[in-house]
Amino acid sequence: MAGNNLLSLMGWMFLPNLVTGWVQSIYYGLTIRAGDRKPAPNSPRYIEHRRRIHILVVSLYLLYTIYEADYELRRAGTFYTDLGVPLSASERDIKSRFRRLAALHHPDKVMSSSSSSSAAANSADFFMHLKTASDTLVDPARRFAYERFGPDILAWKHCVTVRDFVVRGAQVLVPYYAFAALAMYVLGLLGYLEWGRYWRWLTLVALCVFELHAITRPTFPRLLTALVNPLLARFSRHPPYLPFQAVALARKLSITLYIAFSQLGPLLHPPNQSGAGAGGVKYPAEASEKALLQSLERLEHTARSMDVDAARLMELEMAPFVGDAQVIGSMRTKLKEWLVQNTIRADPMVKDALGRSFQKRRVDAPAGAKGNR
Q: Which range is most confident: 15-29, 104-118, 209-223?
A: 209-223
Residue 328 sits in the same domain as residue 344: yes
Contacts of 218 (CB under 8 A, 6+ apart): 144
Higher pLDDT, 304 or 234: 234
Measured between alpha carbons, how far is 254 from 371 in angstroms, rounded to an integer? Answer: 91
Look up residue 10 and give its amino acid. Answer: M
Q: Which residues lie closer than 8 Å to 82 by C-beta, 6 or more apart?
A: 129, 130, 133
Residues 83, 88: Cα–Cα separation, whole Å: 13
Letter for the amino acid at 103?
A: A
pLDDT of residue 323: 66
Whether residue 115 is contained in a domain is answered as no
Q: Residues 341-363: what's their mean pLDDT?
A: 69
| For residue 93, pLDDT beyond 80 | yes
DSSP 38: P
pLDDT of res. 120: 65
Residue 177's nearest CA partner among 108, 230, 247 is 247
Q: End of a domain among 226, 257, 280?
A: 280
Question: Which of 159-173, 193-207, 254-268 has the largest mean confidence?
Answer: 159-173
Is the domain of 230 the same as that of 261?
yes
**Average pLDDT in the 215-230 region?**
90
State yes or no: pLDDT of 145 exceeds 90: yes
CB atoms within 10 A of CB 134: 22
Say whether both 261 and 205 belong to one domain.
yes
Q: Which one has a higher pLDDT value, 256 or 344?
A: 256
Overall domain count for the chain: 3
Q: Is the pLDDT of residue 153 over 90?
A: yes
In a shared domain, residues 66 and 9: yes
CA distance 340 to 143: 105
Q: Are residues 299 and 343 in the same domain?
A: no
Q: How confident is the model at residue 249 (pLDDT cuts 50, 70, 90)?
A: very high
Residues 344-362: what's their mean pLDDT? 69
User: Which amino acid belongs to residue 45?
Assistant: R
pLDDT band for position 54 (50/70/90)? confident
276 and 247 within one domain: yes
- What is the tally of helices (H) and strands (E) in the chain? 17, 0
pLDDT at 34: 76
CB atoms within 10 A of CB 111: 16
Query: Could you please report the per-residue DSSP string of 312-368?
Result: HHHHHHHGGGTT-HHHHHHHHHHHHHHHIIIIITTSHHHHHHHHHHHHTS-TTPPTT
Picking from 110, 315, 299, 146, the residue whose alpha carbon sits closest to that of residue 220 is: 146
Residue 282 β-bridge partners: 276
Same structural domain for residues 194 and 332?
no
352 and 209 assigned to the same domain:
no
Residues 196 and 262 in one domain: yes
Tell me what pLDDT residue 150 has. 93
Query: Is residue 176 one of the residues assigned to a domain?
Result: yes
Bigger pLDDT: 132 vs 343: 132
**Selected residue with higher pLDDT from 200 and 334:** 200
Question: In the predicted model, what is the mean pLDDT of residues 176-204?
Answer: 84
Q: Is the pTM of this model over 0.75?
A: no
Over residues 136-148, mean pLDDT: 95
Considering the domain architecture, whether residues 148 and 159 belong to the same structural domain is answered as yes
Whether 15 and 61 have beta carbons less than 8 Å apart is answered as no
The whole-number average pLDDT for the span 57-65 is: 86
239 and 170 within one domain: yes
Asked if pLDDT for residue 7 goes beyond 60, the answer is no
Nearest to 32 by CA among 44, 54, 49: 49
Which pLDDT band, with edges at 50, 70 and 90, does 114 fall under? Answer: low
pLDDT of 321 reads 64
Tell me what the mean pLDDT of segment 251-263 comes to.
Answer: 83
Please, are residues 184 and 200 in contact by the beta-carbon 8 Å criterion? Answer: yes
Q: Establish if 87 belongs to a structural domain.
A: no
Same domain, 267 and 189: yes
271-312 residue pLDDT tens: 544 444 444 444 444 556 667 777 778 877 787 777 777 777
Taking residues 341-352, what's their average pLDDT? 70
- Pick the closest to residue 164 from 142, 138, 133 (CA basis): 142
At residue 118's C-alpha, the angle toward residues 115 and 119, to 5°, is 65
Structural domain harbouring 344 = 324-360
Q: Are 71 and 65 in contact (CB under 8 A)?
A: no
**pLDDT, greater one: 260 or 360:** 260
